[in-house]
Amino acid sequence: MKCNKIVSAFLAAGLFMTSQWASAQDLLTDAKQVIERATAPVTKWDGPTTGPTLQANKKIIFIASDMKNGGVLGVKQGLEGAAKVAGWKLDVLDGAGSVKDQLAALNQAIAQKPDGIVIGGWNPNVAKILLKKAAKEGIVLTAWHATPIPGQMKDYNIFYNVTSDSMEVAKTAALYAVAKSEGKAKVLIFTDSLYQIALDKANMMKDVISKCTGCKVVEFIDTPLADTSNRMPSMTFSLLQKYGDDFQYSLAINDLYFDFMAPALQTAGKGGAAAPFNISAGDGSVTAYQRVRSQKSQVATVPEPLKLHGWQLLDEFNRAFAHQPPSGYVTPAHLVTKDNIDADGGKNNEFDPGNDYQSHYKAIWGVK
């Protein structure tokens, strides 16, 4: 399967590392090499080149985990663009950051009897019964960020989970802290255990930092994404008081934490070109790009090609409707810093790879 070939390529490139390094210098050297590759321009299409022609007159529904999440919003926008090209009908329902609302949206979607439903960034484990019902009614299920691992999810009847390898994304973010600090980073890690993918990413970042002998995980903080606007300002002041100079680096599973940390840091006279240095393992929001460009309260993000993922979702649906297997495509991690921010769509404050993915998908579908 193509997914396996891509994983093999990552292994050959050193992007998936062993759990041990012989020395602190080995880890630092490895970190710098990974960051050099992850910051390189994306110019070559590495996705599918063959597949079924476009299946006509389909209706799909995208159920967002929370439309306040910039990553989910970007995927939705990409899917909208692909659906317009395909001539498909697309509806969007907002799960509003809660399991209750996500399940209600899924019930509503199933009642509409669409051809397909996207689980957009939330844990399918809470909806096993409803997903089974959807599959029995002949509704094709795909997902974005449902779990950290891309591919088919047979336990949930999901044809394909579109995502970059979240563990690679998390490693890249953590290794940037190692490289930037020359192996001396003191790190706070922010996550939301409501989402398994968020918890897994945070644990991976913790694992990398823990293997850096000169680094330190100062605190592992579990706080909900849906309530960042209320919690992060006061929490930021508390953390500054609690840790002082040990508050050097923040690693977060999502840019959203820094949306509401940044004003508090600036009020405290922090968050400029000096510490704390904030690094996000997703999603590359507009506000994150603005902060990275101006070096105000964020130095890097590991964005995903959100609009490309929207196009891939439609392609995976099309393969399912044509009774063909999924593409197996997995997009590699890409790190954005001030040095490379204007490449790959960055002038528009987004990561939109310069590999002409839309033309490649149109060619597969047989549309212009």
pLDDT above 90: percentage of residues in the chain: 85
Residue 274 binned pLDDT confidence (cut-offs 50, 70, 90): confident
pLDDT, tens digit, 9 for 90 and up, residues 202-225: 999 999 999 999 999 999 999 999
Residue 142, C-beta contacts closer than 8 angstroms, at least 6 positions apart = 116, 117, 118, 119, 158, 159, 160, 161, 162, 313, 316, 317, 320
Other C-beta atoms within 10 Å of 104: how many? 15
Residue 48, C-beta contacts closer than 8 angstroms, at least 6 positions apart = 2, 315, 327, 328, 329, 360, 364
Q: How far apart are CA 169 and CA 148, in angstroms?
A: 10
Question: Which one has a higher pLDDT value, 286 or 83?
Answer: 83
Residue 71 binned pLDDT confidence (cut-offs 50, 70, 90): confident
pLDDT at 15 over 90: no
Q: Per-domain residue ranges for the chain?
A: 18-43+166-301, 59-164+305-330
Residue 359 CB-half CA count within 13 A: 6
Q: Give Cα 36 to chain centroid, integer Å.
A: 20
Residue 21 binned pLDDT confidence (cut-offs 50, 70, 90): low
How is 164-187 classified by DSSP, letter by letter? Answer: --HHHHHHHHHHHHHHHTTS--EE
Q: How far apart are CA 169 and CA 335, in angstroms?
A: 9
C-alpha torsion 171→251→160→304, nearest 10: -90
pLDDT above 70: percentage of residues in the chain: 94
Location of structure tokens 């079924």: 52
Class of domain 59-164+305-330 as given by CATH: alpha beta
Distance set, CA 116 to CA 138, 144, 199, 256 (Å) = 9, 13, 28, 29
- Report which secondary-structure segment, H or E, holds 362: helix 357-365
pLDDT, tens digit, 9 for 90 and up, residues 154-186: 999 999 999 999 999 999 999 999 999 999 999
Residue 264 binned pLDDT confidence (cut-offs 50, 70, 90): very high
pLDDT at 330 over 80: yes
In three-state secondary structure terms, 337 is coil
Location of structure tokens 């293997």: 211
Encode burial over 302-330: b for 16+ CB neighbours within 10 A, e otherwise: bbbbbbbbbbbbbbbbbbbbeeeebbbbb
- Judge if 18-43+166-301 and 59-164+305-330 fold alike in CATH terms: yes
And the tokens for 178? 């190692």
Topology of 18-43+166-301 in CATH? Rossmann fold (3.40.50)
Q: Based on the number of CB atoms within 10 Å of its own CB, is 193 exposed (0-12), middle (13-18) or buried (19 or more)?
A: exposed
Taking a C-beta distance cutoff of 8 angstroms, is the pair 308, 357 a contact?
Answer: yes
Give the Cα-Cα-Cα angle 216, 217, 219 (nearest 5 degrees).
Answer: 140
Rounded to two decimals, what is the model's pTM?
0.83
Residue 19 binned pLDDT confidence (cut-offs 50, 70, 90): very low
Q: End-to-end CA distance of the chain: give it in Å, rounded.
A: 28
In three-state secondary structure terms, 130 is helix
The mean per-residue pLDDT over the stretch 225-248 comes to 94
Taking a C-beta distance cutoff of 8 angstroms, is the pair 103, 79 a contact?
Answer: no
